[in-house]
Amino acid sequence: MPGSEWGTATEQRFNVNLSILFTELPLLERPAAAAAAGFTAVELWWPWVDSPTPERSQLDALKKAIEDAGVQLTGLNFYAGQLPGPDRGALSIPGVESERFRANIDVAADFARSVGCKALNALYGNRVEGVEAAEQDALALENLVLAARAADRIGAILLIETLNQPESPLYPLVSAPAGVAVVDRVNEATGLGNARFLMDLYHLSMNGEDLPSVIERYAAKTGHVQIADNPGRGAPGTGTLSLEDLLGRLRKAGYEGWVGLEYKPGDRPSAAAFDWLPAEARAAR
């Protein structure tokens, strides 16, 4: 997988997920580190795992760090509990977690608007023992409708993500069809049409899905793509996925959005984990 071919054959726009890369640095130093590595765009999971409603000073400090670094925040997760950790989301979990998700909706949307972010990712919650799946799914739809309306208010899309069953056995969306079905239900319920599929090629490969077929079937409904190699969730070239070919297929299928780098750097500083991608391909064109 020659690094010199990346970014030219695919013509994709890459950003860096600062919740899995550059985590050896404090949060407020990560945007500048990504910029120093040559990137002009970043994305984030919800950074305050214990608080869906952080102090205004914390929000302002992150906004300043992003702006001072000169990078664009292109994606932000709504509150999703402990990530990384045992949680996978909050919006479908009755009680406190669902309430925390709802409290976060406008906070996350308003922060996204303040930095020009146009994509908000809403993770389903794990299945809960003693609660019917149908009850959780009804709650999820209710909360996703609220999230879609908040995203629409700021001119953003709402992303629905599929994870993988081996690593997230209690997470209900572990196939591309399951994720897209939720996208369709949200769009039908709101009439807004701003819900989109988040196509994470690592998670889908862990589920054993036929990735070229997934791309062919669902590229038109995809609002964001994330990549990591498999096995290991490392950088492209560390595993066996033909990621360059897959991104080329996405491009040919009409996908022109961001590709988020959501992989682990391995036993090296994050800044050294981009040798597969030439410097000229890192800045958004």
What are the residue numbers of the active site?
161, 262
- 144, HSE (Cβ side, Cα atoms, 13 Å): 36
Q: What DSSP letter does each residue of 154-194 carry, written as one string?
A: TT-EEEEE---TTT-TT-S--SHHHHHHHHHHHHHHHS---
Q: For residue 230, what are the contacts with CB-CB under 8 A and spacing of at least 6? A: 202, 205, 206, 239, 240, 241
Task: Quote the strand ranges of the chain, DSSP E.
Answer: 13-17, 41-44, 72-77, 119-122, 157-161, 195-200, 222-227, 258-261
Instruction: Work out whether strand 195-200 and strand 72-77 pair parallel, antiparallel, or are unpaired.
Output: unpaired
Residues 117, 62: Cα–Cα separation, whole Å: 13
φ, ψ (nearest 5 deg) of residue 166: -60, -40
Q: For residue 274, what are the contacts with CB-CB under 8 A and spacing of at least 6? A: 37, 38, 235, 261, 282
Query: How far is CA 192 from each of CA 72, 124, 158, 189, rounded to the nearest angstrom?
Result: 25, 20, 10, 8
Residue type, 77: N
Q: What DSSP letter does each residue of 119-133 carry, written as one string?
A: EEEEPPPPP-TTS-H
Residues 280, 158: Cα–Cα separation, whole Å: 30
